[in-house]
Amino acid sequence: MPAPHHFITGAELDADRLDLLLHRAAALKEAPQSSRALEGRTVALIFQKPSTRTRTSFESGVFELGGHPMILRPDEMQLTRGESVKDTALVLSRHSAVIGLRTGDEDQLNGLAEHASVPVVNMLSPGHHPCQAIADLLTLKEALGDLKGRTITYVGDGNNVARSLAVVGEIAGLKVRIAAPSGYQITDTPAELFEDPVEAVKGADAIYTDVWVSMSDDESSAAARREALHDYAITDELLDHANDGAFALHCLPAHPGEEITESVLYGDRQRIWDQAENRRHAQKALLELLVSPRAEDG
Ligand code: CP
Ligand code: NVA
C-alpha cells in the first residue's frame, strides 16, 4: 500500500506536483467523465462545520471519478460521544480510500492525519484552506497563463484562505501580497504584507477577498471586525488601481456590501463563479494524485 500522503496545508506539494495537478485539473474540466480513478472506492467526508461549495464539489467530484462520497456529520458519529480521533482514523481507514475533514479544531485534523493509513485532506480548518487555494490557482492560470512572476493581492482579513493562497501561490511562483489592517494580518506567511490596500493592488493582476467573519471567529467580535475592515472591500475603484484587466476573486460565501460590492460580485470584472466551479476540477485532480501509486513508495 502506498504511504499516506496528506494534504493539510498545501505545502505538501512541490512545484512539479502542483504543476501536474493544475494540468490534470484543466484536462478534467475539459472532460469531466474521463477518469475513473476512484472506481469502486469510497471517500469519507466529515463536515464539522457548514459548507456549500466544498461539500457539493467534493461529492460531485468523487462521483464523477467513479467513487462513492460518504458524507459524515458530527451528530452521526461517535466522535461527538467521546470516541477518540485515533480510533475514528483507524476505522475510517478500513473503509475509505481518502478521508476529508472540515473542522474548527486543528488538533483533530492533525490527529486524524497522524493515525489514518489513507490520505487525509483538509477541507478547511481555522488556519488553512488548501483545497480552495488549488482552485484559486487553476482560475488564475485560466486567465493569466503562466503564473510565475504574476501578482495577486489579497485584501481583507488575514485568515485561513489568505494563508493557503500564499503557501500554494509561492510554490507556483506567484507573487502574493496581503493587505490587512493592524491586528488582522497574518505573519507566518511567505506573502508580502501591506496595510494600505491601494498601495497593495498597484501592479496586481487579480484582487482576492474573503469574509470578514470566519466560522472560527467569535461572533461577538463581528461588529469590531466589520469596522476595522471597512476600507478593505473590493470595489470598482480598488480594481481601477490594479493592472488593466485585473479581476476579482472571492472564495465565497460573499456578503455583498461588506467585503465586496454587488457590482463587482456580479459584474464582468470577476472570475468568482468560475473559481467556485473550479473547486470540483482541482479537487478531482488532487484526489487522483493522492490515490495514485507513487514511485518512491516502491
Ligand atoms: N469556499 C468554500 O469553502 O465554501 P464553503 O464554505 O461553502 O464550502
Ligand atoms: N474564511 C472563511 C472561509 C469560508 C469558505 C471561514 O473560515 O469561514
Percent of the chain beyond pLDDT 90? 96
Of the residues 214, 219, 250, which should be mutated to test ligand 2's pocket, given the most ligand atoms within 8 Å of the CB?
214
Chain-centre distance for alpha carbon 200:
22
Given a contact cutoff of 8 angstroms between Cβ atoms, the answer to whether 119 and 4 are in contact is yes
Residue 165 CA, ligand 2 centroid: distance in Å: 13
pLDDT of 61 reads 98
Residue 215 CA: nearest ligand 1 atom is: 6
Which residues are catalytic, by number? Answer: 102, 129, 132, 210, 251, 279
> What are the residues facing 43 on neighbouring strands?
69, 98
Q: pLDDT tens digits, residue range 157-187?
A: 999 999 999 999 999 999 999 999 999 999 9
pLDDT of 297 reads 52
Phi, psi torsion values for 39, nearest 5 degrees: -50, 120
Ligand 2 neighbour 51 (Cβ under 6 A) = no
Ligand 2 neighbour 98 (Cβ under 6 A) = no
Residue 298 CA, ligand 1 centroid: distance in Å: 36
Banded model confidence at residue 141, pLDDT cuts 50, 70, 90: very high
CB within 6 Å of ligand 1 — which residues?
51-54, 124, 132, 251-253
Ligand 2 neighbour 161 (Cβ under 6 A) = yes
Phi, psi torsion values for 226, nearest 5 degrees: -60, -35
Residue 9 has pLDDT above 50, yes or no: yes
User: Can you tell me the mean pLDDT for 125-129?
Assistant: 98
Q: Which residue has the cell 497563463?
A: 145
Q: pLDDT tens digits, residue range 202-229?
A: 999 999 999 999 999 999 999 999 999 9
Query: What string of DSSP letters covers 120-135?
Result: EEES--SS--HHHHHH
Banded model confidence at residue 280, pLDDT cuts 50, 70, 90: very high
Query: What string of DSSP letters covers 229-268?
Result: TGGG-B-HHHHHTS-TT-EEEE-S---BTTTB-HHHHTSS
Q: pLDDT tens digits, residue range 33-76?
A: 999 999 999 999 999 999 999 999 999 999 999 999 999 999 99
Q: Which domains does the chain have, with CATH numbers?
A: 15-129+277-297 (3.40.50.1370), 130-276 (3.40.50.1370)
